[in-house]
Structures are given as structure tokens and as C-alpha cells.
Amino acid sequence: MQTQKEQLFAVLEEAGMPPVPDEFSVVPWYQAISPGILEEIQVFIRTFEDVTRRPSWQETVTAAAPEIARHPRPEVCFFSAWDFHLPPDQNWQMIEFNDNGSGLLFAGLINDRYYQIFDLSQQAALQPPPVYTELTERIIASVKQEVMAFFPRWPQGLFLILEDREALQRGKFRHELMLLRDLFRQQGWRAEMAAPGYMDWDGQQLCWKGQKVSFIVNRSTDFLWQAEVFSPLRAAYEAGQVYVAPNPFTYATRSDKRLMERLSLSDWDQALGIQPQERAILSAHIPETHWLRPENVEELARRKEEFIFKPAQGFAARGVLASTQVGRSRLRRLLKEGVGYVAQKKIPKSLLRGKEPKNTRLWTDLRVWAYRGQILLLSGRASSRPDSLDLSPPGGWIPTYVRCSKIPLSLRWSGIKPGA
């Protein structure tokens, strides 16, 4: 007879996830977030949206960006993700924002199936998560909203999920892209997955294998489309003939890690149009961050024990440098090589103690997905190391819920239901 853990892993694989835990690690425990913290995070996300969509912010932060990233675009990503650390002895902090955050569908499955299989409605004072079908309905509603805002009428072209070739072949989230493609097809939309090199531009429309492309969910990590294989997409994008989210403009105004400096520090508030009440929220919940420049190398080297160093265009913790890996010479070499880096104040994660294996300790973060300021889903990652993101067992993606409480009116649309 299967244990609950074995049943969970089997059900997740049956639902479309890669084999757990062999190819994708899921922690068979859960973490619980207080409703008060969730309400504060909701206010924070709306503040973030207000600031980053303001013309004064967009014009200022794109002034030195590549030409393709300077022109405003209307697209809004339905899988935007905010990553938070919840240290035990200080305010929660936003560590990163990702406009192409992986794991939305997987996290929805994990939260829903774990809650059911472990019968949490009887065992824990938690608000039920959105069932998976509710989450997919919200995703489809978001896509429809985006389509109707961008096109004068429903487009007849392909819905294309764009990802780098290697990720389509071997990436951990290729199964999630399949789930999204199939979800689109269930709506009667023609949908495919493709790498950038398989598209063509004929001067009037973007095509994939001879079929017109209208709507692109962009998962590529070449955020500014600098490689030659993106030339057809660049042409279609500049001509306004295709919807693409995220895109260079959303990257330059929202998810470039260098923006964390201006969000965390008040030095540029007047030019950026950040209001005093917004500054209070941002400064309380974004760790001190500095973009590495020649003039701050000495200070950052002197204070290096306070920071973790991240590549501005990095993803999935690639290229992250601990304080022990840097010094004046390393920082100067990064500058000379033109590798954009930011130094971000270290923020502890939450510690979670488990029973299986006995006395296992994991350090967790919180990932919050939201669309146009409205929370879609909560999730988290658990690492066996406090200072890095090691998702190999016993770490992995962890079911995440909100403790029971009366839900504020501002959160009732979020899909998180009140407990009994």
C-alpha cells in the first residue's frame, strides 16, 4: 500500500509533472504563512506595480537601455513572480522579481494535491488553496484579458510558447510548458512550443513553420533578444505585429536586477516619481542593493560580508557569488569584463524542521504569483543550505498555504478561501 508521500508523488506525475523525486524534487511537508503577512505583501505588490508602471519611472530607467527596450509596451505577464525571504527576527523582504518565473502550474498542482492527500482540511488550521482547475481558469481569464487589450479582435494566429532550445529538450520545466500548451489547446486555440531559431519574419508577419504567430508566452532567458536567432522576433515586435510577454521593455522596467538599487534606496525618488508613502513601503521590504560601479568597488569590498553578489541578467541562482568569493580584485575584474552585478544585503530565510528524515532542517522562501496586482498563487522553495538555493532532496518545491483567518476584502478575489 502506498504511503501518503508515495501517493502524492504518483499523483503529481500523473497530472503532468516530471517524475518526483527523480527529476523534480517536492518536499512532503508544508509551510504556512500568516494572513497578516499576506495582506502586507498584497499592499507591497500593488505599490510595486504603481511605481514600475509610472511614466516617470519607465522613462528614467530605460534612458540608457538598448533601443528595443525603450519604447512602452502594453503587455502584462500573467506569470510574474515575486520572491520573498521571511526572516524570524525582522521584516519580510522581497529578494527578487521575475517576469518569467517558472513553476506556476507545478506549484498549483503541488498545493492542491498535497492538501487533498494529506487531508489538511481536518489536520491543520489552513485556508484551502485554489484547486488546480480554479487556477487554470484564472490563467485563461488573464490570457483573454491580455489578448483583448492588445488586439482589436481575436487573433487567428498561433499561441506560441517560446523557450531556449536546451530548455525545451532537457529543462526541468519543459513539462510545465507542455501543460500550458495543452491548456491553450483545450480552449480551441492553436498552440505550440518552439525555440527562437525556428521563427521567420516576412516583412508583414511572424511565422513558425509557415503558420502566422500572434501571441507569444516568452520563457527565453535572453531577456533583450541580443542573439541573431531573435532577429525575426525583434522585427515583428518593433512592428507591433505580435504580442510578447515578457519582453525587453518589461525586463528593463521591472525585472532587471539593477532596478533593485533604485527600489531599495531613496536617492532617485524625485526623478522616478516615487511618493513618500511608497518609499516607506519599499524601504521597509527591499534589502539594500547596489549596482556594481567603479566608484563603489572599495565600499562594497570593505562591506562584502554584508552582501551577496548577483549577475544583473542571471536566473535560477546562476552566477551568484557569496561574499567569500569576492574581493577588490574580483569586483574590478567583473567591471572590466562588463559583467553587470549587483550587491544585495543578505537576508536570512525561514527555518523549517521536518520529521522525515528525522531532524531534517530546510530553509524556505516564499514565491508569490500575481497578475495586474492581484495574487494568483503562493508557493515556496526549500533548500538544505541556508545561503543558497539547493533544490535537490531533501529540498525542493514545498506546498505553501495561509493560516486560517478572516480574509480581508482586498484578498477575496485571490483564490484563497476562508477556513471553516
239 and 292 share a domain?
no
146 and 235 share a domain?
yes
Residue 73 clears pLDDT 50, i.e. is over it: yes
Residue 353 clears pLDDT 90, i.e. is over it: no
Whole-structure pTM value: 0.92
Please, which pLDDT band fits residue 316 given cuts at 50, 70 and 90?
A: low
Out of 245, 262, 278, a domain closes at 245
On whether residue 233 sits in a domain, the answer given is: yes
307 and 241 share a domain?
no
311: containing domain: 288-346
On whether residue 295 sits in a domain, the answer given is: yes
On whether residue 3 sits in a domain, the answer given is: no
180 versus 386: the higher-pLDDT residue is: 180
The mean pLDDT of the chain is 91
229 and 321 share a domain?
no
What is the 3 state secondary structure string of the chain?
CCCHHHHHHHHHHHCCCCCCCCCCCECCCCEEECHHHHHHHHHHHHHHHHHHCCHHHHHHHCCCCCHHHCCCCCCCCCCEEEEEECCCCCCCEEEEEECCCCCHHHHHHHHHHHHHHCCHHHHCCEECCCCHHHHHHHHHHHHHHHHHHHCCCCCCCEEEEECCHHHHHHCCCHHHHHHHHHHHHHCCCCEEEECHHHEEECCCCEEECCEEEEEEEECCCCCCCCCHHHHHHHHHHHCCCCEEECCHHHHHHHHCCCHHHHHHCCCCHHHHCCCHHHHHHHHHHCCCEEECCHHHHHHHHHCHHHEEEEECCCCCCCCCECHHHCCHHHHHHHHHCCCCEEEEECCCCEEEECCCCCCCEEEECEEEEEECCEEEEEECEEECCCCCCCCCCCCEECCEEEECCCCCHHHHHHCCCCCC
What per-residue confidence (pLDDT) applies to 411?
Answer: 42
On whether residue 98 sits in a domain, the answer given is: no
354 versus 303: the higher-pLDDT residue is: 303
Total domain count, the chain: 2
User: What CATH number corresponds to the domain at position 200?
Assistant: 3.40.50.1760
% pLDDT > 90, the chain: 78
